[in-house]
Amino acid sequence: MVLFELFLLSLLAATILPLSSEILLLALLSDAQQTAAALWFAATLGNVLGACLNWGLGFWGISFLERRWFPVNRQEIRKAEERFQRYGAWSLLLAWVPVIGDPLTVIAGVLRYSFWRFLILVTLGKGGRYAVIVYLLERNI
């Protein structure tokens, strides 16, 4: 059950919801009831799936751009596209960074960036971030 809770919180934290999965991960690592590898996997899987949800929202949601209720306008989309194009797909390695990560994953969907490349880059970035957290806590740094 604890792994599912970490998975779910990590998934939700990868969306626009203001949540943090790192605190729960650190608490569970300190508790030592689960292996570090299992906790890393649950957090990474949830966070990556949340980013995939964002990609899908961008991919399919852009068709609603002209609707009055849509939360962003064409100019904001254009600015985000320019930034993504300027920094390139490698910026997806930073999808874990608060504030900029979620919009990066959405704009990748809007731009129809290859889902499989997206998945690889986002998994490397998010999995790497959790691996660093696990490593540092395991080493008491």
Q: What is the pLDDT of residues 58-70, one digit of tens each?
A: 999 888 878 887 7
Say what angle helices 36-61 and 115-138 make with each other, to 10 degrees: 150
pLDDT computed for residue 26 by the predictor:
93
Distance in angstroms (rounded) separating the CA atoms of residues 122 and 49: 10
Residues 10-54 pLDDT 10s? 999 998 888 999 999 999 999 878 999 999 999 999 999 999 999
pLDDT computed for residue 80 by the predictor:
81
Residue 72 has pLDDT above 80, yes or no: no
> Average pLDDT, stretch 123-141?
92
At 10, which amino acid appears? S
Asked if 46 and 11 touch (Cβ cutoff 8 Å), the reply is yes
Question: Which stretch of DSSP H or E encloses residue 10?
Answer: helix 2-13
DSSP, res 73: -
Residues 100-110 pLDDT 10s? 888 899 999 99
pLDDT computed for residue 99 by the predictor:
83
pLDDT computed for residue 96 by the predictor:
93
Asked if 16 and 102 touch (Cβ cutoff 8 Å), the reply is yes
Number of domains in the chain: 1
Where does the pLDDT of residue 141 fall: very low under 50, low under 70, confident under 90, or very high at 90 and above?
A: low
Alpha helical stretches, state H, 74-138: 74-87, 101-110, 115-138
pLDDT computed for residue 140 by the predictor:
80
Nearest to 52 by CA among 113, 94, 128, 106: 106
- Full residue range of the structural domain in which residue 91 is found: 2-138
Asked if 26 and 64 touch (Cβ cutoff 8 Å), the reply is no
Mean pLDDT of the chain: 91
> Average pLDDT, stretch 69-73?
76
Give the burial string for 102-126 (b: 16+ CB within 10 Å, else e): bbbbbbbbbbebeeeebeebbbebb
